Amino acid sequence: MTILFFGDIVGRPGRLAVKKILPELKKAYEPDLILANCENLAHGKGVTRETLSVLRESGIEIFTSGNHVFNQKQAHEILREKDSDLLRPANYPPGVPGRGFKVMEIGTKKMAVVNLVGRVFFDEDFDCPFRCADEILEELKEKKNQNHSSGFSRGSDKRSGGFGLVSGRQGVSCRGYAYPHSDCG
């Protein structure tokens, strides 16, 4: 199975770049699934129906996010929709609109896309991403889904390979982005 994942797509320049290059990538790699992290899609903060629509029309099927997903009011409505293709981090506290994973059928296989966020350097009160991953993987195991997880994280937990804790229990782990350090020259 071929999965194409775009990290943090930021604002109009990011949307235009993806729209321009995606046809070429689709032709070259023939992906079975195209995912994108979109939490900064609308002017660098959050998402709107319009910004998601541009990328959906280009072929992106599932949108992962992070702590900026709610920066635009429309995100609340989009996440409440029953079959929304926008995921918020699964480890948000209970009661937050939306869901953090989605099971998809691709050909004869089922695949779960799981969206998690780290807790280092955040002001938000996220649940432990590792405990949350364990719960989701157990739920998927009970439902006998073949599962692959797409993880989104920020902070020292990912830089030290934090998603290695779910290693061997999922097919794929991705991350949305990492900020360059000021000492990188």
113: CATH: 3.60.21.10
Residue 77 is assigned to a structural domain of this protein:
yes
SS3 assignment, position 20: helix
Residue 183 is assigned to a structural domain of this protein:
no
**Residue 43 known to be catalytic:** no
pLDDT given at position 128:
86
- Report which secondary-structure segment, H or E, holds 63: strand 62-64
Please tell me the distance from the alpha carbon of residue 107 to that of residue 14, in angstroms, as a whole number.
Answer: 30
Please tell me the total count of domains within the chain.
1
- Amino acid occupying residue 167: S
153-183: burial string, b at 16+ Cβ within 10 Å, e else: bbbebbeeebbeebeeebebbbbbbeeeeee
pLDDT given at position 57:
95
Residue 33 is assigned to a structural domain of this protein:
yes
Residue 175 is assigned to a structural domain of this protein:
no
pTM listed for this prediction: 0.81
pLDDT given at position 121:
66
Cα atoms in the Cβ-side hemisphere of radius 13 Å centred on 71: 15
- Domain of 88 in residue numbering reads as 3-166
Question: What is the dihedral angle through the alpha carbons of 115, 9, 84, 111, rounded to the nearest 10 degrees?
Answer: -50
pLDDT given at position 33:
92
For the beta carbon of residue 90, count every other beta carbon within 10 angstroms. Answer: 23
Of 43, 68, 76, 181, which one is the catalytic site residue? 68
Residue 172 is assigned to a structural domain of this protein:
no
Residue 180 is assigned to a structural domain of this protein:
no
Please tell me the distance from the alpha carbon of residue 151 to that of residue 15, in angstroms, as a whole number.
Answer: 21
Residue 148 is assigned to a structural domain of this protein:
yes
Residue 74 is assigned to a structural domain of this protein:
yes
Look at phi and psi of residue 77 and say left if phi exceeds 0, alpha if psi is from -120 to 50, else beta: alpha
pLDDT given at position 106:
86
pLDDT beneath 70: ranges in the chain: 119-122, 144-185
